[in-house]
Amino acid sequence: MGLSSSPFPWGLLTLALALTVLAFPDETLDKVLKSEGYCSRILRAQGTRREGYNEFSLRVEGDPEFYKPGNSYRVTLSAATPSYFRGFTLIALKENKEGDKEEDHAGTFQIIDEEETQFMSNCPVAVTESTPRRRTRIQVFWTAPPAGTGCVILKASIVQKRIIYFQDEGSLTKKLCEQDSTFNGVTDRPILDCCACGTAKYRLTFYGNWSEKTHPKDYPRRANHWSAIIGGSHSKNYVLWEYGGYASEGVKQVAELGSPVKMEEEIRQQSDEVLTVIKAKAQWPAWQPLNVRAAPSAEFSVDRTRHLMSFLTMLGPSPDWNVGLSAEDLCTKECGWVQKVVQDLIPWDAGTDSGVTYESPNKPTIPQEKIRPLTSLDHPQSPFYDPEGGSITQVARVVIERIARKGEQCNIVPDNIDDIVADLAPEEKDEDDTPETCIYSNWSPWSACSSSTCDKGKRMRQRMLKAQLDLSVPCPDTQDFQPCMGPGCSDEDGSTCTMSEWITWSPCSISCGIGMRSRERYVKQFPEDGSVCTVPTEETEKCTVNEECSPSSCLTTEWGEWDECSATCGMGMRKRHRMIKMSPADGSMCKAETSEVEKCMMPECHTIPCLLSAWSEWSDCSVSCGKGMRTRQRMLKSLAELGDCNEELEQVEKCMLPECPIDCELTEWSQWSECNKSCGKGHVIRTRMIKMEPQFGGAPCPETVQRKKCRIRKCLRNPLIQKMRWREVRENRRSEALKEEADGEQFPGCRMRPWTAWSECTKLCGGGIQERYMTVKKRFKSSQFTSCKDKKEIRACNVHPC
C-alpha cells in the first residue's frame, strides 16, 4: 500500500540506536514521539512510494499462515537486486496491539548471526542491525508464543539512504494465526496457488562449510562426510520434511544412516505430486577446497502445481542431524519464477535418536520427537554448545539458480541477459534470409557437441563469405550455433531412452551374514517414437555384513564413496570408510574393518618425467632418549632419460623420546673429623654433599655420611697420672690455638674455617643459584658475642636464557 504522512498506527519501534550511529539527517524523520510505554520511541516516517512496490520483503520459511505454539521459524528480511538497506527493525506484535507494553509482544526472537543482528538496547524484544552497512538480507529465528495468544503480526521497517520505509500491510508485514488444536498437521503449508505459467528449470548447488576450522569442537576427523542429497520439486499437498513435524521412515534412514534409498522410494510413490526427484552424490570428506572438488549440484524443474522444492542431506557422523530446505516456494506473487535463492543452513534434529555428540552410540528416541533446529544450548556435550547461547555457525550454503524458462510465460520481463538467451527457443528457419548481394559457400557439417553428457552444450557450423556485391547491405554471420546434448541424449533421436544415474545401493537385506542389496535408476525421458525402453532399471548383488553371526558380531553402515586416487597418473591407492552403528551384544570389541583400500589406475604417466615411489616409513630416532632426528626416503621410479627430477628424495625431522636418566651427583668426601674422645674408644666422621638429585629414573644417591672408629690411647685410672695427662692435653690445645690464629679467619669471639668451594648451579639456564659455607672452628670461652655462628653466601649463576 502507499505510504502516507499519518502517524504509524501500530506503534512501529524506532531504530533509535541505528539512527544515531548512521547519523541520518533530521529531515528523514517527521517527528520522534516520546512516551512512557514499554518501548519508549515510536517512529513516524514520511515519504511516498508507488502502489504495490515490493523491493523489500519479509518472509517466514515455508510461507505458513498458521503457527504452532512453541515452534521455531526462520524469518528472512531481504531486498531485491539491486536494492539494499542499511538499517532495520523487526518486531512481533499481538494483533491489534500498539507495542508500547511488554505484554503486547508475542514470541521471542533468536539471533543467528551476531555480526548482522542484535537486540535493541532500548527495546530488547525487537531486533535491529549490529553495524550500519549495506546489506541485502538478514535472518533470525522466531519462536511462536504459547497457546491462546491468537494472531501475531510480524513487522519490519527498512532504513535505506535517507528514507525509512514501512508497511502496515504488504511485503514487510506477515500475519500468522494460531493453528487450531484439532488440526492434524504440524505446520500449515502454503495455501496460495501459484499463478505462474509454463515451467522453469533450476540448478541446486550445495556448498558444505562444515570443517575442523569452522567447527573445531570434537570435530570427527575420521569418516566426516555429507550423505547423498535427496529431495524433489513437489506440490503443496506433499511434505518431505518440516520443522515441528515427525520424520518419515525415509527421513529417518537419511538422518541416521545417510541412505537416500527409502526417501527416494517415498518420493516416487507421490508421483502425481512430484515433478522432479533431486539427487546429488555424497561428499567424502565433508569439506575440500573448490579447486580440488567441485560443489555437488543437481537440476530440477517446477510448474504451476509443483512449485515447491525440498531436500535434505545428513551431516555425518551424527546421531540424526541433517540440513536442508523445506517447501521452498519458487513461484512469485507476480506470476513469475524466482531468479535466485541463497540460503545458509544450520543443522536440525530428526527426533529419532537422542545422541548429543557426533559419534554418540545408537540411542533411539522413544517416543519419536518432532523435527527441530539444533541450538547452542541443547546439551553441554554438544559440539555446537555455547554457554552464552550464541548462534550456531552455519554448516552449509545452498544456491538455487534459475537456468531456463520454457513454455508461454505470464511474467515475460526477463531479469537479465542470460534469461533472454535461455528463454529463446531455437526457431527453425524455413527460408534463407541471406541477402542476394552476399555470396557464401555452403554450410560446413555440424561440429561435435561440446557436451559429452546429457547436459546442454553447443555445436557449430561455418561458411565463407565469397563476395559482397553491395557494401551498403550488411552480410549475416559466417558462423551458426545450435544447442545440443551428448550421444544418446539428443532430442532429435526419437528412439532415445534417457536414463538417470544409478542411485546408491540399498542397505543389505540382513544385518549379519550374506544377503542381497539393490539399486535403481529411472527413465528420465521415454522415446518420442513410442518405442519401449529396454534398458534395465534395477540391479542386485550379494552383500556381506558379517561373515560369522554371533553375539560378538557388530552392525556397520554401508561403505562410503571411494576417495580420490592417491596418484594423478599410473597406479595408486584409494580408500573408503564405513562406521560402526551397533557394537557387539556381548560387549566385546568390534572386529569389522572400518576402512578399505584398493588399487586404482590413472592414465599412464607418459608426460610426467618425475615419477616417485611412496615415502618409506620414518626411521628410528637417532637417540635412545631425549631429542634426536629421524629420516624417511623415497625413490625415483621414472627413467633418467625422461628428464631431471628436482623433487626431494629424503626428509629429516626432529624426534623426541623419553628424557634420558640423570644419575645422582655428589661432591668429594671431606676430611675426617677429629676423634670425639681424648682417650679410649671414639669415632670420626666425614661427609659429602648432593650436587644433583636423580631424575627420570637415574641412579639414586648413595650415603653422604661415613663413620669409623678411633682410639687415641687407653684412659689411665691413677688420678695423678690422669691430671698430668689433662695438663698435657691443655698445653697442646693452647699451642694449636696459637698456631690457628695465624691460619684461620678471625671473627669477634670465634675462629672460622675457610670458605668452602661454590656449589654447582641449581639450573643449567634461565637463572639459578650457588652456595658456599663458612663454619665455626672454635669459640673462645671468654667471648660475649652471640653472632659467632656458621655463615652462608648465595650468588646468581647461569642467567642466560634457555
Residues 155 and 286 in one domain: no
Whether residues 168 and 297 share a domain: the answer is: no
pLDDT score recorded for residue 424:
42
The confidence score (pLDDT) of residue 223 equals: 81
pLDDT digits (tens, 9 = 90+) for 54-70: 678 888 876 787 887 77
∠ CA 640-641-644 to the nearest 5 degrees?
60
Asked whether residue 652 is domain-assigned, the answer is: no
* Euclidean distance between CA atoms 392 and 402, whole angstroms: 29
Mean pLDDT of 396-412: 84
Q: Is the same domain home to 112 and 249? A: no
606 domain residue, yes or no: no
Tens digits of residue pLDDT in 162-178: 556 655 557 888 889 88
- Domain final residue, candidates 144, 178, 212: 178
pLDDT band at 152 (very low <50, low <70, confident <90, very high): very high
Length of the chain: 802
Place of cell 554448545: 385
Judgement on whether residues 239 and 304 belong to the same structural domain of the protein? yes
Residue 705 lies in a domain: no
Shared domain for 135 and 235, answered yes or no, is: no
Average pLDDT of 781-802?
71
Decide: helix, strand or coil at residue 19.
helix
- Looking at residue 313, its pLDDT comes to 96
Q: What is the pLDDT of residue 488?
A: 53
- Average pLDDT, integer, range 720-735: 73
CATH number at residue 81: 2.60.40.4060
pLDDT in tens, 464-501: 887 776 777 778 778 888 887 765 554 444 456 777 77
pLDDT value for 642? 47
Task: State the SS3 of 454-506.
Answer: CCCEEEEEECCEEEECCCCCCCCCCEEEEEECCCCCCCCCCCCCEECCCCCCC
Q: Of 383, 406, 429, which residue sits at a domain end?
A: 406
Give pLDDT, residue 279.
93
pLDDT in tens, 249-259: 999 999 999 89
CATH code: domain of residue 227: 2.60.40.2130
Mean pLDDT to the nearest integer, 590-619? 77
Strands 571-577 and 595-601: antiparallel
If asked whether residues 208 and 170 sit together in one domain, one would say: no
Assigned domain for 255 exists: yes
**How far is Cα 496 from Cα 365, in angstroms, rounded to an integer?**
48
Range 224-246 average pLDDT? 92
Q: Within this chain, do residues 253 and 283 fall inside the same structural domain, yes or no?
A: yes
What are the C-alpha distances in Å from 508 to residues 204, 259, 504, 557, 784?
A: 30, 11, 12, 10, 102
pLDDT-based confidence at residue 375 (cuts at 50, 70, 90): confident
Does residue 791 surpass a pLDDT of 50? yes
User: Cell triple for residue 315?
Assistant: 551431516
User: Residue 132: beta bridge partners?
Assistant: none
pLDDT of residue 53 exceeding 70, the answer is: no
Residue 538 lies inside a defined structural domain of this protein: no
pLDDT class of 50 with cuts at 50, 70, 90: very low
Average pLDDT over residues 660-675: 87
pLDDT digits (tens, 9 = 90+) for 514-563: 788 888 777 766 666 666 777 788 888 888 766 656 666 777 777 888 88
For residues 159 and 204, membership in a common domain is answered with no
* Angle between helical axes of 249-257 and 261-269 (0-180°, round to 10): 160
Check whether residue 262 and residue 295 sit in a common domain: yes
- Classify residue 527: in a domain, yes or no: no
- Look at residue 183 and tell me whether its pLDDT is greater than 60: no
> Is the residue at 128 inside a domain?
yes
Residue-averaged pLDDT of the chain: 77
- Would you say residue 542 lies in a domain? no
Q: Which of 88-92, 171-175, 586-590, 612-616 has the lowest mean pLDDT?
A: 586-590
Model confidence at 643, pLDDT cuts 50, 70, 90, reads low
Among residues 391, 406, 421, the one where a domain terminates is 406
- Are 67 and 96 in the same domain? yes
Domain count of the chain?
2
Q: Residues 127, 111: contact at Cβ < 8 Å? A: yes
Same structural domain, 211 and 174: no
Same domain, 143 and 265: no
At 30, the pLDDT band (50, 70, 90 cuts) reads very low
Residue 396 has pLDDT above 50, yes or no: yes
pLDDT, average across residues 121-128? 85
For residue 136, what are the domain limits? 56-178
pLDDT at 371: 93
Output the nine-digit C-alpha cell for 102. 511488554
